[in-house]
């Protein structure tokens, strides 16, 4: 039996595979808009395990799977034996006997890799503390719909260094754009990740100043300053304030720059309301494109 096609992280998949998924996602989007009901996943079943809350990931996977003819089962870890200590390996072995693919959202990245190592069906990363590759596929789809190929463009990341930052760094290598990460000193992305990105052609710079990162950017991205599972800390949050994306920061970017945020957003923390709700913001397209990107990912995993 062939190895399952896991969708775990952008650094584990080559660019042509990721490009193929995006092409397929765009095709599913066009078909949906034209009222065509493509059902390549008829009879397939996806199990989704949530150890963390979700709105977009949960709904877009469920709607995407159903629109493609498949079905889903949602498992909250507290309602399963996982929440009582059954191992992730045993859970993987059992679920693989019932379903055709498993999506996991967890704070523990090792749980994801453990699940994948024991599953005999594809495993999809629905977010871990280390990465959020499904979101990045929707983000690239959104940027390219609005502005054409992202290759060679300049992206500015502002604020915290978190799972989204890590995945944008992987994406810079895989899709060939320049990434400037602006974050408070002494935050830094992990050195092995930066080394990997640079070895794989990613032009990634880390700056401790917002203006230098956003100046001339084609795309400005930020995310919450308090990630899931973190407790807000006034002293830490104060350090992020110079990295808030506001109209002044957007004015330093290119006039046609887009603003992106994976959501949920906290208006007037990491981004001001006028930017989030303003004409350069593409955040609602990004949210919609989670649906189309999930379809591309599911179709690739289950081919």
Structure token digits, residue 303: 């081919």
What is the nearest approach in angstroms of ligand CP to the Cβ of residue 227?
A: 10
Residue 97 known to be catalytic? no
Nearer to ligand CP among residue 96 and residue 135 (C-beta)? 135
By CB under 6 A, name the binding residues for ligand CP: 54-57, 127, 135, 262-263
Q: Which of 6, 174, 290, 292 is catalytic?
A: 290
DSSP for the chain reads -PPP--B--GGGS-HHHHHHHHHHHHHHHHHHHTT----TTTT-EEEEEESS--SHHHHHHHHHHHHTT-EEEEEEGGGSGGGGT--HHHHHHHHHHH-SEEEEE-S-HHHHHHHHHH-SS-EEE---SS--HHHHHHHHHHHHHHHS--TT-EEEEES--SHHHHHHHHHHHHHT-EEEEE--TT----HHHHHHHHHTT-EEEEES-HHHHHTT-SEEEE--SS-TTPPP-HHHHHHHGGG-B-HHHHHHS-TT-EEEE-S---BTTTB-HHHHTSTTB-HHHHHHHHHHHHHHHHHHHH-
Nearer to ligand CP among residue 136 and residue 194 (C-beta)? 136
What is the nearest approach in angstroms of ligand CP to the Cβ of residue 290?
A: 7
Q: Which of 56, 109, 132, 244 is catalytic?
A: 132
Using alpha carbons, list the distances in angstroms from residue 235 to 17, 96, 149, 245.
43, 45, 40, 19
Residue 132 known to be catalytic? yes
Nearer to ligand CP among residue 54 and residue 200 (C-beta)? 54
Using alpha carbons, list the distances in angstroms from residue 179 to 159, 169, 176.
14, 7, 9
What is the nearest approach in angstroms of ligand CP to the Cβ of residue 116?
A: 19
What is the nearest approach in angstroms of ligand CP to the Cβ of residue 60?
A: 8
Residue 135 known to be catalytic? yes
Q: Which of 6, 67, 100, 105 is catalytic?
A: 105
Nearer to ligand CP among residue 112 and residue 262 (C-beta)? 262
Nearer to ligand CP among residue 127 and residue 297 (C-beta)? 127
What is the nearest approach in angstroms of ligand CP to the Cβ of residue 246?
A: 22
Residue 105 known to be catalytic? yes
Q: Which of 134, 183, 219, 262 is catalytic?
A: 262
What is the nearest approach in angstroms of ligand CP to the Cβ of residue 2?
A: 30
Nearer to ligand CP among residue 148 and residue 232 (C-beta)? 232
Q: Which residues are catalytic?
A: 105, 132, 135, 223, 262, 290
């Amino acid at each position: 039996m062939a190895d399952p096609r896991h969708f775990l992280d952008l650094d584990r998949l080559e660019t042509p595979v990721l490009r193929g998924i995006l092409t397929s996602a765009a095709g599913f989007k066009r078909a949906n808009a034209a009222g065509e009901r493509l059902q390549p996943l008829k009879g397939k079943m996806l199990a989704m395990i949530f150890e963390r809350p979700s709105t977009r990931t949960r709904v877009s996977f469920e709607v995407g799977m159903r629109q493609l003819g498949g079905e889903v089962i949602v498992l909250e870890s507290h309602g399963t034996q996982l929440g009582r200590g059954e191992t992730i390996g045993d859970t993987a072995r059992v679920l693989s006997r019932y379903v055709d693919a498993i999506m996991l959202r967890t704070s523990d990245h090792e749980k994801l890799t453990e699940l994948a190592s024991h599953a005999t069906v594809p495993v999809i990363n629905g977010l871990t503390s280390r990465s959020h590759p499904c979101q990045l596929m929707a983000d690239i789809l959104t940027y390219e719909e609005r502005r054409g190929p992202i290759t060679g463009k300049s992206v500015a990341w502002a604020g915290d260094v978190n799972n989204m930052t890590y995945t944008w760094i992987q994406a810079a290598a895989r899709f060939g754009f320049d990434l400037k990460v602006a974050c408070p000193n002494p935050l830094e992305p992990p050195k092995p990740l930066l080394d990997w990105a640079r070895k794989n052609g990613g032009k990634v710079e880390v700056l401790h100043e917002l203006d230098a990162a956003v100046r001339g950017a084609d795309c400005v991205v930020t995310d919450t300053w308090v990630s899931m599972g973190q407790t807000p800390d006034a002293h830490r949050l104060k350090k992020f304030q110079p990295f808030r994306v506001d109209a002044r920061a957007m004015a330093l970017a290119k006039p046609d720059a887009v603003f992106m945020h994976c959501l949920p957003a906290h208006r007037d923390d990491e981004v001001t309301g006028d930017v989030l709700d303003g004409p350069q913001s593409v955040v609602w397209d990004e949210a919609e494109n989670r649906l189309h990107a999930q379809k591309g990912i599911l179709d690739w995993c289950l081919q």
